[in-house]
Amino acid sequence: MKALVKVAPGPGLELVDVPDPKPGPGDILLRVLRTGICGTDLHIDAWDDWAAKTIKAPLTLGHEFVGEVVEIGAAVTKVRVGDLVSGEGHLVCGTCRNCRAGRRHLCANTIGLGVHTNGAFAEYAVLPESNAWVHNHQIDLDVAAIFDPFGNAVHTALSFPVLNEDVLITGAGPIGLMAAAVAKHAGARHVVITDISEARLELARKLGVNVALDVSATPVSAVYGELNMTEGFDVGMEMSGQPSALREMIGNMTHGGRIAMLGLPAKEIAIDWSAVVLKMLTIKGIYGREMFETWYAMSVLLQAGLDLSPVITHRFHHTEHKAAFDTARGGKCGKVIMDWES
């Protein structure tokens, strides 16, 4: 089969022939239909310092995907051949304290599909049954392919109640955009999203945010009068990993405000901890999705009318992977999808 592989240490990926994967007793075999490109994939492609320390080549990339089940292992009991499945890309140990307590998203031994083990940028992929999410309702394949990052957005957006609250989101990348859509759908009074990319801010406007703000030109505090706000934001969602974004968010939170932090900083961030203390702020780190409560919430949100179509801006056949990666890296886009059907 064809797979998109980091064949050796260094920049670049190659579409090459690799052996067809075989499912173990507890695994399912998927015919991959669509995949999404993640920032992690861009790091691996570019072979930056993180990738050089983390990735062992050869490796098939890809952890955002949807496929059709074509074979199941002997011990598989719930997933059936023909099911449409998205995959949870965090593979947990199942035996640590958190796993045994049902808190699998907190497993300290988590490994990543397409990062530490072969992923789904391929014509076929193997997935443990325990990591499969079967779509029992009609769903667009492109949307099903991005359930992994959609889950990050839902986990972040629903970490704190947003009904009737004023919400600040820093970073209008695809996950920030989806979080904004979720917050609006969940009843936030005002949703303000910030970035320095006009293209992504325009996508945010299509999703119905109250204000999409270019913070390279205008401070967050400038929106208070427009939105009839007096005491700052109730809920913050930090999606960018940028030091200035977190500092500005803390400076614009109301007393008792709550911040969900998904953006992963490249280095340490110095912040005004006295403001955190004196404002009695809560800062919660978010990583991945709650298995599988977040997945249930995702499906229900879509069934209830949440529209993610504006977030998906580009589609390529997998043979056009270089153009797909270049588009994703360029930043003037939302989610980029690769089609793996012939």
Binding site residue list for NAD(+): 175, 195, 200, 262-264, 286-287
- Give burial (CB, 10 Å; 0-12/13-18/19+) of 271: middle
**What is the DSSP code string of 220-257?**
GGGGHHHHT-SS-EEEEEE-S--HHHHHHHHHTEEEEE
What is the distance in angstroms between the CA of the first residue and the CA of the last residue of the chain?
12
Tokens of 187: 């009843």
Q: How many CA atoms lie within 13 A of 259 on its CB side?
A: 26
Task: Verify whether residue 43 is a known catalytic residue.
Answer: yes
CB 284 within 8 A of CB 276: no
Integer Rg of the chain from CA: 20
The DSSP H or E segment spanning 104 is: none
User: Residue 227 corresponds to which tokens in the numbers above?
Assistant: 């939105």
Q: Is 40 a catalytic residue?
A: yes
Q: Which strand ranges, in their side-by-side order, compose the sheet holding 211-214?
A: 211-214, 190-195, 166-170, 233-238, 253-261, 282-285
In whole angstroms, what is the distance from residue 132 CA to residue 87 CA? Answer: 5
Annotated binding residues for Zn(2+): 38, 63-64, 93, 96, 99, 107
Pairing of strands 27-36, 335-339: antiparallel
**Which residue has 């997933």 as its token pair?**
79
- Tokens of residue 83, six digits: 């099911």
Residue for token digits 């977190």? Answer: 246
- Residue in 35, 40, 156, 170 annotated catalytic: 40
- CB atoms near residue 278 (< 10 Å): 10
Q: Name the one residue in this structure whose structure tokens are 């098939």.
A: 60
Cβ of 279: how many Cβ atoms within 10 Å?
A: 17
20, 70 contact by CB (below 8 A): no
User: Which helix (DSSP H) or strand (DSSP E) does residue 89 occupy?
Assistant: none
Task: Name the residues annotated as catalytic.
Answer: 40, 43
